[in-house]
């Protein structure tokens, strides 16, 4: 049997048979592994080989961008999803081959940057599939990140645009819808133990025919989620946005012709790539690195290494993620490499090269390296609904190695800025509202991350999410009309929880939430950073503190507010330290909470976080420290202990001579306590992670990956990583308690 040789004809027959009889059209590795733009089509080659009129391209580009802007505004104005109202949306246009060309100017670039994957899937698999096809008037829907996407909460409507019978481009729009019908409400279930717990997982399929939604398919989708009205309404919103975009593109075609559109869409992204190559080439050759350590799987505490090395040589740049944590087969926090790349793009376009056109083509000249089965390159079967854990890191942490690479340049493309707070700090909710509606979604506080300190001034407070500069945190009054959540404290900046530095990070704010007028409501949260500082700082600043989830349970705060309103101050530190709500059970927890029912009047509290600090605290202008006191951002104690300034407590007048002396004393103290590097390494560094740490990822050698199997530590070669499978935390707790009971009984028997 081993000497069988197929003739060329036999092989061709076999290939055709396999093509015609593919059992399952899963994500195509060739598509999903390629973040670059494709080669020029024959039309593009013909047009770009000849003279190109830059004025015409500029005209067409302006018209298209105006149309995309209009589309984005339509979604914002009409969208029903909370995310749509706060700007968690985008409208975009792609070349006929499916490469992203342009997005709406204030849209979320990451949403658009991943839609080229499903478009290329549609082109490759559905165009010639007799039971599907791609026709004028079709629209496709998609949400599964494994086919391209950030996580399954984001649903896209994708529409081909035809002109005189030819497909000339694609338009799409995407909304963070929230609810997906997963094992917990809201679309981002931290308790998902398999991808089948995520709810809706839509591979790209046609849901629009002849420019109309197919109601049978819409009903099927509505039936799969907790919020069927939302599903219907936003499918309509996305369809009609695509139709408006189509109308505008057709007007461009009528006025300027097909060649003008084709050449504009392609030239735009080729120009971007040329500029990116130039920008890479002007950087010094070398490697800069950063590490960060998410401290939770959202089910248990675990230290997960996230490693990034950026190497530049000539006009090539390589991002190397090897050595990062292995993937988790039964935890929700994995991401796939396509999702990761889109969020990395967000980081580059927000913090490194924000002046570039917002398109995935930016990454064409950039190579990326991953270990197989790593947390940042998760395999198909891994659950990924809380991919935000590695993705928020991907959006923030590249600024450190990129700043270290680019600091020496004689010019700047934007301000140097330390990393933004990198957790999705918000309540995810689900239940029955006071209006009798079943809902599941998340609060807009996710958009309130503090910015890092800059090279010339402090970071902005709670400015935006790291995935989009133009999102808003919404109006509480509007939210309270729709939801039974009552915000007892809202938007108060979290005093003393600051990324200190010469220029401090912008602060995050406190969220103090309770519920009323419902008998069925619950919250969950999906953040890390309650044990290990989430973001790394820049150039000698300090990072953020860690943030716990705080609860006051077993009590109805509204009853106490009715009888004694003056007693309770809506400040987390005051509530928790003073325990001013009488009779409550007070507790702190990691900010990773699976869905938990909340009784009326119980209190759940968390914070948005601060950005990291920039530069040495001793270099901070004392006037800036005093201003922070005056604005109630820091305490007198912080000013004295951290910034080493001497001032009058009543007048806040700085004693400059005494401050200089205090800072000089601190510098001398540093010189005394600091050790030479080699001596420090000899004392500090251990050959393996400490026994007590549930550690995942490489230690000193990126080719050796640590993990656990059945609760015991294991070491794996990086080219043969096995997926982690974690025990149920409740089983672990039961085993601990059983051991405790056994020990107590044994002690009892001994008398």
Partner 1 sequence: MRVLMSENLRIDLDAEMWECRHCNKVLISARDNYKRGLLVYDRDPREIHKPLLDPEKYTLTYAPDPTWCRLIEYYCPQCGTMMETEYLPPGHPPLRDMEFDIDAMKEQWKHRQEVTKEPGGKDYPRRERAHTGQRMARMHTGENEA
Task: Work out how close the CB of 436 gets to partner 1 at its nearest, in angstroms, rounded to a whole number.
Answer: 37
Question: Which stretch, 160-168, 220-228, 283-291, 390-398, contacts partner 1 (CB under 8 A)?
Answer: 283-291
- Angle, nearest 10°, between helix axes 54-78 and 258-281? 90
Task: Work out how close the CB of 470 gets to partner 1 at its nearest, in angstroms, rounded to a whole number.
Answer: 10
Among 162, 392, 547, 643, binds partner 1 (CB under 8 A): 547
CA–CA gap between residue 214 and residue 403 (Å, rounded):
50
Lay out the sheet containing 585-590: strands in order across. Answer: 485-493, 509-515, 603-607, 548-553, 585-590
Nearer to partner 1 (CB atom), residue 126 or residue 500:
500
Task: Work out how close the CB of 462 gets to partner 1 at its nearest, in angstroms, rounded to a whole number.
Answer: 17
Nearer to partner 1 (CB atom), residue 28 or residue 496:
496
Return the residues of window 248-267 that contact partner 1 according to CB under 8 A.
Answer: none
Among 4, 8, 685, 746, binds partner 1 (CB under 8 A): 685
Residue 64: count of CB within 10 angstroms of its CB:
23
Give the contacts of 475 (CB within 8 A, at least 6 positions apart). none
Return the residues of window 603-622 that contact partner 1 according to CB under 8 A.
Answer: 614-619
Among 22, 563, 651, 686, binds partner 1 (CB under 8 A): 686
Question: Which stretch, 169-177, 230-238, 517-525, 662-670, contacts partner 1 (CB under 8 A)?
Answer: 662-670
For 85-123, b/e burial (b = at least 16 CB within 10 A) is bbbbbbbbbbbbbbbbbbbbebbbbbbbbbbbbbbbbbb
CB < 8 Å & 24+ apart, contacts of 222-226? 224/181, 224/199, 224/200, 225/179, 225/180, 225/181, 225/199, 225/200, 225/440, 226/179, 226/181, 226/185, 226/430, 226/438, 226/439, 226/440
Among 8, 42, 657, 671, binds partner 1 (CB under 8 A): 671
Determine, following the binding rule CB under 8 A, whether residue 397 of this chain makes contact with partner 1.
Answer: no
Among 73, 273, 316, 518, binds partner 1 (CB under 8 A): 73
Nearer to partner 1 (CB atom), residue 108 or residue 122:
108
Which alpha helices (H) appear in 79-159, and where do they start and end? Answer: 82-85, 109-113, 116-121
Nearer to partner 1 (CB atom), residue 372 or residue 666:
666
Among 11, 223, 564, 577, binds partner 1 (CB under 8 A): 577
Total residues binding partner 1 (CB under 8 A):
103
Task: Work out how close the CB of 40 gets to partner 1 at its nearest, in angstroms, rounded to a whole number.
Answer: 24
Return the residues of window 638-657 that contact partner 1 according to CB under 8 A.
Answer: 641-642
CA–CA gap between residue 485 and residue 443 (Å, rounded):
10
Return the residues of window 170-189 that contact partner 1 according to CB under 8 A.
Answer: none
Nearer to partner 1 (CB atom), residue 58 or residue 219:
58
Contact yes or no for 141/122 (Cβ under 8 A) = no
Phi, psi for 24 (deg, rounded to 5): -150, 125
Binding mask 302-331 for partner 1 (x = CB under 8 A): -x---------x------------------
Question: Which stretch, 316-324, 520-528, 543-551, 711-719, contacts partner 1 (CB under 8 A)?
Answer: 543-551
Question: Which stretch, 37-45, 62-70, 366-374, 730-738, contacts partner 1 (CB under 8 A)?
Answer: 62-70
Task: Work out how close the CB of 358 gets to partner 1 at its nearest, in angstroms, rounded to a whole number.
Answer: 10
Determine, following the binding rule CB under 8 A, whether residue 675 of this chain makes contact with partner 1.
Answer: yes
Nearer to partner 1 (CB atom), residue 516 or residue 589:
589
Which alpha helices (H) appear in 23-113, and where do they start and end? Answer: 29-32, 42-49, 54-78, 82-85, 109-113
Task: Work out how close the CB of 172 gets to partner 1 at its nearest, in angstroms, rounded to a whole number.
Answer: 17
- Residue 601 carries which DSSP code? T
Determine, following the binding rule CB under 8 A, whether residue 68 of this chain makes contact with partner 1.
Answer: yes
Among 196, 205, 220, 680, binds partner 1 (CB under 8 A): 680
Question: In Å, what is the CA distance from 711 to each residue of 348, 349, 726?
Answer: 38, 41, 8
Among 77, 219, 435, 587, binds partner 1 (CB under 8 A): 587
Among 550, 552, 603, 634, binds partner 1 (CB under 8 A): 550
- Angle, nearest 10°, between helix axes 258-281 and 42-49? 80
Give the residues across from 438 on adjacent strands: 432
Contact yes or no for 259/265 (Cβ under 8 A) = no
Return the residues of window 692-751 that contact partner 1 according to CB under 8 A.
Answer: 692-693, 695, 699-700
Task: Work out how close the CB of 604 gets to partner 1 at its nearest, in angstroms, rounded to a whole number.
Answer: 14
Return the residues of window 28-57 that contact partner 1 according to CB under 8 A.
Answer: none
Question: Which stretch, 98-106, 115-123, 188-196, 593-601, contacts partner 1 (CB under 8 A)?
Answer: 98-106
CA–CA gap between residue 511 and residue 514 (Å, rounded):
10
Task: Work out how close the CB of 671 gets to partner 1 at its nearest, in angstroms, rounded to a whole number.
Answer: 5
Give the contacts of 315 (CB within 8 A, at least 6 positions apart). 277, 278, 280, 281, 365
Nearer to partner 1 (CB atom), residue 138 or residue 320:
320
Task: Work out how close the CB of 105 gets to partner 1 at its nearest, in angstroms, rounded to a whole number.
Answer: 4
Task: Work out how close the CB of 360 gets to partner 1 at its nearest, in angstroms, rounded to a whole number.
Answer: 18
CA–CA gap between residue 68 and residue 66 (Å, rounded):
5
Contact yes or no for 425/607 (Cβ under 8 A) = yes
Phi, psi for 713 (deg, rounded to 5): -70, 140
Determine, following the binding rule CB under 8 A, whether residue 590 of this chain makes contact with partner 1.
Answer: yes
Question: In Å, what is the CA distance from 450 to each residue of 420, 487, 712?
Answer: 6, 20, 38
CA–CA gap between residue 449 and residue 530 (Å, rounded):
16
Among 364, 401, 450, 452, binds partner 1 (CB under 8 A): 401
Determine, following the binding rule CB under 8 A, whether residue 532 of this chain makes contact with partner 1.
Answer: yes
Nearer to partner 1 (CB atom), residue 145 or residue 288:
288
Phi, psi for 462 (deg, rounded to 5): 35, 55
Contact yes or no for 619/503 (Cβ under 8 A) = no
Return the residues of window 468-497 that contact partner 1 according to CB under 8 A.
Answer: 496-497
Nearer to partner 1 (CB atom), residue 263 or residue 485:
263
Determine, following the binding rule CB under 8 A, whether residue 280 of this chain makes contact with partner 1.
Answer: no
CA–CA gap between residue 103 and residue 61 (Å, rounded):
11
Q: Furthest-apart CA pair in the chain: how many Å? A: 97
Determine, following the binding rule CB under 8 A, whether residue 206 of this chain makes contact with partner 1.
Answer: no
Nearer to partner 1 (CB atom), residue 206 or residue 248:
248
CA–CA gap between residue 154 and residue 343 (Å, rounded):
14
């Amino acid at each position: 049997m081993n000497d069988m040789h197929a003739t060329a004809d036999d092989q061709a027959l076999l290939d055709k048979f396999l093509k015609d009889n593919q059992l399952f059209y899963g994500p195509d590795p060739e598509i999903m592994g390629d973040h670059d733009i494709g080669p020029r089509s024959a039309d593009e080659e013909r047009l770009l080989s000849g003279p190109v009129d830059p004025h015409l391209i500029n005209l067409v580009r302006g018209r298209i961008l105006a149309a995309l802007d209009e589309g984005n505004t339509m979604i914002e104005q009409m969208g029903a999803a909370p995310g749509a109202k706060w700007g968690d949306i985008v409208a975009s246009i792609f070349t006929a081959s499916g490469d992203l060309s342009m997005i709406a100017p204030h849209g979320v670039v990451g949403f658009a940057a991943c839609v080229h994957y499903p478009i290329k899937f549609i082109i490759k698999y559905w165009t010639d599939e007799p039971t599907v096809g791609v026709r004028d008037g079709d629209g496709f829907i998609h949400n599964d990140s494994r086919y391209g996407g950030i996580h399954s909460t984001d649903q896209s409507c994708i529409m081909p645009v035809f002109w005189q019978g030819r497909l000339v481009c694609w338009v799409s729009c995407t909304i963070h819808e929230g609810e997906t019908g997963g094992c917990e409400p809201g679309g981002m279930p931290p308790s998902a133990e398999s991808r089948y717990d995520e709810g809706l997982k839509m591979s790209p399929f046609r849901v629009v025919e002849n420019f109309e939604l197919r109601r049978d398919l819409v009903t099927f989708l509505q039936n799969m989620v907790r919020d069927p009205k939302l599903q219907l309404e936003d499918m309509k919103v996305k369809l009609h946005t695509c139709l408006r975009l189509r109308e505008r593109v057709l007007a461009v075609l009528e006025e300027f012709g097909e060649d003008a559109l084709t050449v504009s869409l392609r030239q735009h992204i080729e120009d971007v790539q040329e500029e990116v190559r130039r920008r890479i080439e002007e950087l010094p050759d070398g490697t800069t690195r950063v590490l960060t350590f998410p401290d939770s799987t959202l089910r248990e505490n675990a230290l997960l290494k996230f490693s990034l090395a950026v190497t530049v040589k000539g006009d090539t740049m390589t991002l190397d993620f090897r050595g990062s944590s292995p993937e988790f087969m039964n935890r929700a926090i994995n991401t796939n490499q396509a999702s990761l790349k889109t969020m990395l793009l967000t980081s580059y376009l927000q913090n490194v090269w924000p002046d570039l056109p917002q398109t995935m083509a930016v990454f064409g000249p950039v190579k990326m390296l991953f270990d197989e089965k790593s947390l940042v390159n998760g395999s198909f079967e891994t659950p990924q609904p809380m991919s935000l854990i590695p993705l928020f890191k991907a959006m923030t942490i590249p600024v450190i190695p990129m700043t270290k690479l680019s600091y020496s340049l004689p010019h700047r493309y934007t301000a140097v800025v330390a990393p933004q707070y990198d957790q999705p700090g918000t309540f995810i909710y689900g239940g029955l509202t006071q209006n009798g509606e079943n809902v599941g979604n998340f609060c807009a506080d996710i958009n309130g991350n503090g910015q890092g300190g800059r090279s010339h001034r402090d970071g902005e407070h709670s400015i935006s999410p790291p995935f989009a500069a133009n999102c808003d945190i919404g109006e509480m009054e509007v939210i309270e009309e729709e939801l039974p959540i009552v915000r007892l404290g809202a938007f108060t900046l979290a005093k003393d929880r600051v990324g200190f530095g010469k220029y401090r990070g912008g602060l995050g704010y406190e969220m103090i939430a309770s519920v009323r007028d419902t008998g069925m409501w619950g919250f969950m949260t999906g953040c890390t950073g309650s044990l290990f500082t989430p973001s790394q700082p820049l150039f000698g600043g300090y990072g953020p503190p860690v943030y716990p989830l705080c609860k006051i349970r077993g009590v109805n705060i509204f009853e106490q507010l009715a009888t004694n309103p003056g007693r309770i101050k809506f400040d987390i530190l005051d509530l928790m330290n003073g325990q001013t709500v009488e009779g409550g059970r007070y507790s702190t927890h990691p900010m990773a909470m699976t869905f938990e029912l909340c009784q009326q009047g119980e209190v759940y509290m968390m914070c948005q976080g601060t950005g990291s600090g920039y530069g040495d605290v001793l270099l901070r202008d004392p006037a800036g420290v005093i201003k922070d006191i005056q604005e109630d951002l820091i305490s007198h104690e912080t000013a004295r202990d951290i910034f080493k300034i001497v001032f009058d407590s009543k007048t806040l007048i700085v004693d400059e001579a005494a401050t200089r002396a205090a800072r000089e004393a601190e510098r001398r103290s540093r010189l005394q306590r600091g050790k030479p590097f080699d001596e420090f390494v000899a004392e500090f560094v251990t050959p393996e992670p400490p026994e007590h740490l549930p550690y995942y990822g490489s230690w000193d050698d990126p080719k050796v990956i640590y993990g656990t199997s059945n609760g015991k530590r294991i070491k794996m070669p990086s080219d043969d990583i096995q997926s982690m499978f974690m025990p149920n935390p409740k089983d672990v707790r039961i085993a601990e308690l059983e051991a405790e009971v056994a020990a107590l009984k044994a002690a009892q028997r001994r008398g």
